[in-house]
Copies of this chain bind each other. A is one copy, B any other.
Amino acid sequence: MSQHVSEAATALPVVSTRIYPRGALDILSRDEVARLKDASAGGMHDLLRRCALAVLTSGSASDDPRAAQELYPSFDIQVLQQDRGVRIELVNAPAMAFVDGELIRGVAELLFAVVRDLAYTAIELGPEYAADFESSAGLTDAVFGLLRNARILHPIEPNLVVCWGGHSIGREEYQYTKDVGYELGLRGHDICTGCGPGAMKGPMKGATIAHAKQRRRRTRYIGITEPGIIAAESPNPIVNHLVIMPDIEKRLEAFVRLGHGIIVFPGGVGTAEEILYLLGILLREENAQLPFPFILTGPTAAAPYFERIDQFIRLTLGEAAAARYEIIVADPEKVAKRMTAGIRKVREHRIAQKDSFYFNWGVDIPLPYQQPFVPTHEAMAALDLRHGRRPQDLAADLRRAFSGIVAGNVKEEGMRRVEQFGPFQIRGDQDIMQALDALLRAFVEQRRMKISGEYRPCYRVIA
């Protein structure tokens, strides 16, 4: 590794160097190296630059990778070809990722993961394979292929707990996620999260301490992200396996098929959407017999949050839906014990079904859950939020409604649409729509949804 430290255009110290990847990138054919080089110099380049910078500033005080873009304007990354494989050139990279001029090994691994996954997406999931993505099986295969290429599919005992929750939570809630992670770690569980800060970092941090105490050497802290999110939520420094899925839907499917159980900590609207996504899947008849530990938990102060969500679910999807999860308040040890018991059942079920331990082929995820939802006025008007529908169908539309409303309130694209065409028109029963509204207002009050000015609904209910 040759390197050169300079001050560049910016005041912050930077380093320029070249590195040689290991892992999935160390044995490529000449042709693959050439395609990787082309992709990284072409359309993929800006994305690669952005993701690489997020990784190189991982663990920085601000934890805001957008700031990183401004702090390191002259940063660049090039993937070059040479006979023996790939070479990566870093230009004016943040010095904080280096020790005495040498890239920190864990950061290097995450950087290789970025190149590996973007390359896989560009080369193996490119336009020529588009046809495969019109079937549910084809999309699942894409998720499988990317995860296998990332080398996180191993035939080991089920022990992977997925943790969801907000990235900007309060100190008490953060401490609670650490406590839960600690109890999980003591019991030998590995952790998988969205790989950012807050509830995505706390469980990993707690588990790290517990794993050290239990002298576990081969631990997994898996972070699954996607290009739109990594810019906002850079991987925390504990992550030792990073995967970048091509889009939100594949990321959600990866969570569900990789994890042996899911814990949800308090979070914002995104977290609520994730809960509805998972419920929509678990409520399908095809998945009725499938054991799937699903726990909502938080400290005492978070109890009202879960009560409200619980009420909303019972109102809209019924008691059967509420039977699919368990709410545990302020008891990390109980959470860990229930998860351990639940995963034991998952294990037995996989053996009985001859399903693999490392990928949940058995769970049925239908095409609509795999395809992106774009909240146009037409799409929103097509939703049908009324009692009497099958719960899994209603759950899917609720998730979409949620997604659209959030977009109309806080996302640039959505806000512009509402300004231009007026509020969305949503078809739904009165009580459901009111409950939805109340939930959103509560998020605003609890500062879980950030909004400038006063909250004004961006939709209108129609009969």
Residue of B with least CB distance to A22: B155
Is A314 in contact with chain B by the CB < 8 A criterion? no
Cα–Cα, bound, A105→B211 (Å): 10
Residues of B within 8 A of A82 (CB): 354
Is A288 in contact with chain B by the CB < 8 A criterion? no
Residue picked from A99, A238, A357, most chain B C-beta under 10 Å: A99
Interface string of A340-369 (1 = CB under 8 A from B): 100000000010011111100110000000
Task: Verify B106–A27 contact, CB threshold 8 A.
Answer: no
Q: A105-B214, A109-B215 are in contact. Are A353 and B29 (CB under 8 A)?
A: no
Is A389 in contact with chain B by the CB < 8 A criterion? no
Residues of B within 8 A of A84 (CB): 350, 354-357, 361
Task: Verify A141–B31 contact, CB threshold 8 A.
Answer: yes
Kindly list 4 other residue pairs between chains A and B, CB separation below 8 angstroms, not including A30-B141, A84-B355.
Answer: A27-B154, A83-B356, A83-B361, A106-B213
Residues of B within 8 A of A85 (CB): 356
Shortest distance between the CB of A187 and any CB in chain B (Å): 6
Copies of this chain held together in the complex:
4
Is A454 in contact with chain B by the CB < 8 A criterion? no
Residues of B within 8 A of A144 (CB): 29
Task: Verify A106–B214 contact, CB threshold 8 A.
Answer: yes
Residue picked from A29, A215, A237, most chain B C-beta under 10 Å: A29
Is A107 in contact with chain B by the CB < 8 A criterion? yes
Interface string of A1-41 (1 = CB under 8 A from B): 00000000000000000000000001101110000000000
Residues of B within 8 A of A155 (CB): 26-27
Task: Verify B104–A186 contact, CB threshold 8 A.
Answer: yes
Residue of B with least CB distance to A138: B31
Is A145 in contact with chain B by the CB < 8 A criterion? yes
Shortest distance between the CB of A142 and any CB in chain B (Å): 10
Residues of B within 8 A of A208 (CB): 212
Residues of B within 8 A of A362 (CB): 83
Sample of 29 A–B contacts (CB below 8 Å)? A26-B155, A27-B153, A27-B155, A27-B356, A27-B358, A29-B141, A29-B144, A29-B145, A30-B137, A31-B141, A59-B213, A83-B353, A83-B354, A83-B361, A83-B362, A84-B350, A84-B354, A84-B357, A85-B356, A100-B340, A104-B186, A105-B213, A106-B212, A106-B214, A106-B215, A107-B213, A208-B212, A212-B238, A213-B237
Is A456 in contact with chain B by the CB < 8 A criterion? no
Residue of B with least CB distance to A154: B27
Interface residues of A in 81-133 (CB under 8 A from B): 82-85, 99-100, 104-107, 109
Cα–Cα, bound, A356→B154 (Å): 27
Is A390 in contact with chain B by the CB < 8 A criterion? no
Cα–Cα, bound, A15→B31 (Å): 45
Shortest distance between the CB of A147 and any CB in chain B (Å): 9
Is A171 in contact with chain B by the CB < 8 A criterion? no
Cα–Cα, bound, A153→B340 (Å): 37
Cα–Cα, bound, A145→B358 (Å): 25
Cα–Cα, bound, A357→B85 (Å): 11
Task: Verify B141–A99 contact, CB threshold 8 A.
Answer: no
Residue of B with least CB distance to A214: B105
Is A44 in contact with chain B by the CB < 8 A criterion? no
Is A209 in contact with chain B by the CB < 8 A criterion? yes
Residues of B within 8 A of A361 (CB): 30, 83-84
Is A148 in contact with chain B by the CB < 8 A criterion? yes
